[in-house]
Amino acid sequence: MTPTTHATQRQPRWLRSWWYHAAFYAQTWRGSVASSILFPILYLASLGVGVGHLVTAHTGLVEGQTYLHFIAPSLLATTTMQLGEGESLWPVLASVKWIRTYHAAAATPLEPDDILFGKLAWVATRAFVTSIIYTIIVGCFGALTSWWSLTLPLIGVLITLAFSAPLVAYAAAAQSDASFTTLYRFAFVPMFLFSATFYPVSAYPGYLRPVVQFFPLYHGVALVRAAAYGRGSLAIQLAHVAVLVGLAVTGVLWGRRTMRRRLTD
């Protein structure tokens, strides 16, 4: 055997699954340029600068920040959430039901766990790169005031996995995409609008604040704001991390079960 063959055999099998997604994305990356680079600039320019001018004129600062600086980090959280959702519902259902690429992969030495871990590793890779780009853009708008902002790409990966892992597990078990639109309309859109993304939790009535803080995205928003500003209790930030890690781990455990069941029937 050649040295290349030996090196390939030593690679973890899930890395081969990761390479499949990377090779596929190398042919389609142009379609994501707008969502990764252009949309963040447009969002910040329209909401942060445009709407922010009106907010500052009428109410002044929001939690000690200009409106632009208040929403800029939270948009990183919503972007990584949407990345996790977009990569994990229809693409996974298509791979297990319509085009059956996961069944083809399962016919090779790859195990269902390898396919799952390769998928999640690829989603994490995309989230990391997207978060780096977004962090640079947010920094150019002057919304980063702490060295803790260097952790924003890692936080972006955590947010993505907290959503992607359960959604991959759910999609792997689904028989159709009928429920996906309902999930998007009644879960993702409300989380995007009402997870303290565009205004602080203090703006809600007291009885609604626990509901807002129950949303998974709220923990991601709070975490990226704390990192961007370098403020907040360490214990509270660790609690946010624990919630997101818990969601990711639960999704992985669930996904191992649903992927194995779907691909070994």
Query: What confidence score (pLDDT) does residue 4 get?
Result: 44
The percent of residues in the chain predicted with pLDDT above 70, rounded, is: 95
Region 102-126 average pLDDT: 95
| Closest by Cα among 246, 110, 84, 103 to 170 | 84
Region 178-191 average pLDDT: 93
Q: Which residues pair with 65 in a beta bridge?
A: 62
Amino acid occupying residue 239: A
CA 94 to chain centroid: 20
Q: Cα–Cα distance between 172 and 65 in angstroms, integer?
A: 42
Per-residue pLDDT tens digits for 24-37: 998 888 877 777 67
Query: What confidence score (pLDDT) does residue 221 get?
Result: 96
| Closest by Cα among 128, 138, 167, 129 to 74 | 138
Task: Check if the beta carbon of residue 114 is closer than 8 Å to that of residue 16.
Answer: yes
Query: What confidence score (pLDDT) does residue 8 get?
Result: 52
Helix, strand or coil, per DSSP, at residue 232: coil
Alpha helix segments (H runs only) across 174-233: 178-183, 189-194, 209-214, 216-229
Q: Cα–Cα distance between 183 and 90 in angstroms, integer?
A: 12
CA angle 31, 81, 259 (to 5 degrees): 90
For 5, 16, 19, 30, 110, the CA distances from 2, given in Å and listed in that order, are 5, 18, 20, 35, 22
Question: What contacts 239, CB < 8 A, 6 or more positions away?
Answer: 219
Per-residue pLDDT tens digits for 28-83: 888 777 776 777 778 788 877 778 777 777 777 778 888 888 898 998 999 999 99
pLDDT beyond 60 at 15: yes
Q: What is the 3-state secondary structure (H, E, C) of 121-149?
A: HHHHHHHHHHHHHHHHHHHHCCCCCCHHH
Query: What confidence score (pLDDT) does residue 5 get?
Result: 47
Query: What confidence score (pLDDT) does residue 259 get?
Result: 96
Region 130-135 average pLDDT: 92
Region 240-262 average pLDDT: 97
